[in-house]
Structures are given as C-alpha cells and as structure tokens.
Amino acid sequence: MSILQSYMLTACMRPFFPALAVSTFVCVARLMVRLFDIVLRNGFFLAGPALEMFAAALPGTLFLTIPMSLLAAILLGAGKLAANGEILAIRACGVSLWRVIRPLMLLSAAFFLLLVWAAQRLIPALNLRSSDLATQIQFRVLSALAPETAYELVGNGKDNDSWIIFAHRDAETGDMREVVIASNSDANTTAGVEDDAHRMPGDPGSNAGTRSIIFSSRGRIEAELSERMVSIFLTSGTMQVAGNSQQRTFVRFDHLRKGVQPLFSRTAAGGFTRAAREMTMQELRDRILNPPPGRVPMKWMTVRQAREEFNETRGPDYSFAIEYYMRFALPMACVAFAVLAVGLADRIRPRRTSLAWGISFIVILLYYGMMNAGMAFGKTGNPLTPYAIFLPNIVFLGLGAVLLRRALRGR
C-alpha cells in the first residue's frame, strides 16, 4: 500500500469508530433502558441474563450500523481532504484518484462479505439465543414474586393485560397458594382449561369474555423453552368470565394452564415456531419451499390470486422470503454507501463536520425508508418484491457510480 493510499484510508477510518459507537448506541438505547428497568425492578439476580441478552442483540445491531458508519466516515474523511484541496493536489501530481481510493473499495467489499457471513451463520443463532433469554428472564421474574404483591403479566395486545397476586408460598414445594389472576380481554383463557373442568349451575352459556378473574388454591411457574412460553399451572379453582352483554360464565376447573408471553416476545399466541430472523439460510429455503399445513407453497401472488388458485383465503407467508433477500440486500449497502460517499465528498466538499453528518443522515433516511417500503411491498405478495428490496442498493450504487466517474475524470 502506497503512502497516499494509507493516508486516504487513515483519514476515512479515523471517524469510523466514533460514528459506529454513536449509531450503535442510538439503536440499542431502548433495549438498554428496558433491561436496566427489569433489573432495577426485580433484583440484580437478573443482571447476568440481561447482560447476555444485550450481548446477543449487539451483533444484529452492528449489522445495521456498520454500513451507516462507513458512509459517514468516508464522507467526513474524503470530504475534508477534498475541501482542503488535497484531492486536487493528488490529481495535479498525476496520480489516479482510483488508485488512491482503491483500499476504501476493498474495505467496503470486505465489510459486505463479513456481514453476509454474519447474516447466515452468526446473527440467526444469536437471535434464537436472545429469545431463549427472554423466556428465562420472564421465568425468573415470576419465580421470584413476593406474596401479597400484585404483578402485571405481559399481555398479547395493548388492552390484554393480566395481574397476579397470591397469599403465600408452600413451605415444602414453593408453590403459590390462594392465587388470584385478573385479566382484561382474555377470551382465550378458557383454552387452557383441561377436560376435567365443569360449568357451574346457572351458567348462561359460553361467550367471548372481555374480563376474567381466576381463583385457584395452588399454582406453580414453569418455563417451556420449546414453546417460548412461561406457563402458570393452576389447580382446584374457579374462573369467572364477563362479556360485554353483562352475562357471566362460571367455570370450575381441576387443572388450568395460563401462558404468559416473555417480556420481549414477538409472538401473539399459540405454540412457538422460529421467527424468520432466527432461521439459518437453509431453514429459510426449506420453509419457503415446504410451508406448514394451512399455508400454500411460496409463490409471489396476491391474496385474491391465492384464493383462486389454491382455494385458500391466506396466501403464502412472505416474511421468510423477505428475510432471505434482506440478508443479502442490507450488506450490499456497504459497497453502495462507499461508492456514493466518495462521489459526494468530491462533489460537495463539506468543510463542516455538521454538514457531512447532515448529508449522511439524509442518505441513510432515504435508503432505509426505501428498504422498509420494499419490505411492506413484499407483504402484499407482488412479484416485483425482490427487485423492490434491492432497489435502494441499485439507486444509490448507480448514483454513486455516476458521481465517482465524474470525480475520476476531474469534473
């Protein structure tokens, strides 16, 4: 590597790590606050799992922030050289600008390959581990509940919340005794009642309840990692469900299981299946080609087309195909941003750091806005979805190539 190449690379990489630290902190700030709040509210015995969960989430965040930081760093470094006339001096000495920026292009290609590898090997495993830790944290929180203290359980929606309180713990088994659970919009609670439940006399009939109260003589907490759920097993109790019509359903049960979502859950209800972000590339391909029962084979189509062709009201689950393409599209931003940043630096020549940051922010906002639009477009089943997902890279790489070509020609 020549002196000029080393000089250019150093000038551009010097602001890279501060930019990476700032952008990563902004992206993980919400998770940090959430974990910190859980530890403070429930005790420092959760500090270990919380730190491990934060560490598991960090590579996935870097997957997004590395391309952003690379754009800002090259725009800051090369822009400063262009503003000071150093790039003009390099041209005056007869040195090709492409030769000087070639290490930057190779570095962006190296980042691209690194992120593609991480998206296929590392990040899915860490996302899966993060889901496991969320279940473990919820289990530890519920297992450490103090008697005669109300605790809010995580609901499946904005208005679907539950509270649990119990009188004391069994000295021998540690089970909760005299348990009371009050829920809002908990119509699915009766799904956990086993066959040995009985309707109380005078029951007006089953209805979709909006409020329920469960009284049980005994309860215990169990974590079911295979389903990503924490369950409360209740025995010998009564459940009252009240609907909007003021009718009440009374159910006496011998055994009842109430599932509780993990604190960071992304599932709404039912048995656990891996999310697309937790699957390897091979698993994504298998899920696309061999969908579960109730889903039609993967094919870009609208719901109307799926109904006509397969007599099915639901089309394919496009989230797996979208995730598959995203794992290649997002790393490509490293190359697109590097080419665009060099062209913009020579064209605009930002003298102020604030101007370079402002341009970077606008480019990033436009890029990820187009990317999110492509993902939303994919959920409709349009056949042009793969092109829509890669469109931001095509647009910014094309624009960067035009600007870079002008810079190489000295225009």
Q: Provide the residue type at 299 as one letter.
A: K
Instruction: Name 182's bridge partners.
Output: 163, 213
What H or E segment, with its residue span, contains residue 155? strand 151-157
pLDDT at 158: 46
pLDDT at 186: 45
Query: What are the pLDDT digits (tens) for 321-347?
Result: 888 899 999 999 999 999 999 999 888
Query: What are the pLDDT digits (tens) for 89-128?
Result: 887 887 888 888 899 999 999 999 999 999 988 999 998 8
CB atoms within 10 A of CB 268: 9
CB atoms within 10 A of CB 180: 16
92 token code pair: 């005056």
Q: Provide the residue type at 260 as one letter.
A: V
pLDDT at 206: 44
**C-beta pairs of 199-204 under 8 Å, 24+ apart in sequence:** 199/249, 199/250, 199/251, 199/252, 200/238, 200/250, 200/251, 200/252, 202/250, 203/249, 203/250, 203/251, 204/247, 204/248, 204/249
Q: How far apart are alpha carbons 133 and 121 in whole angstroms?
A: 19
Of 292, 298, 151, whose CA–CA distance to 232 is shortest? 151
pLDDT at 307: 52
DSSP state letters, 12-46: HHTTHHHHHHHHHHHHHHHHHHHHHHHHHHH-GGG
pLDDT at 283: 84
Residues with pLDDT less than 50, the chain: 156-159, 186-191, 194-209, 265-271, 294, 296-297, 300-301, 303, 312-313
Beta strands in 176-310 (DSSP E): 176-184, 198-199, 211-224, 229-242, 248-260
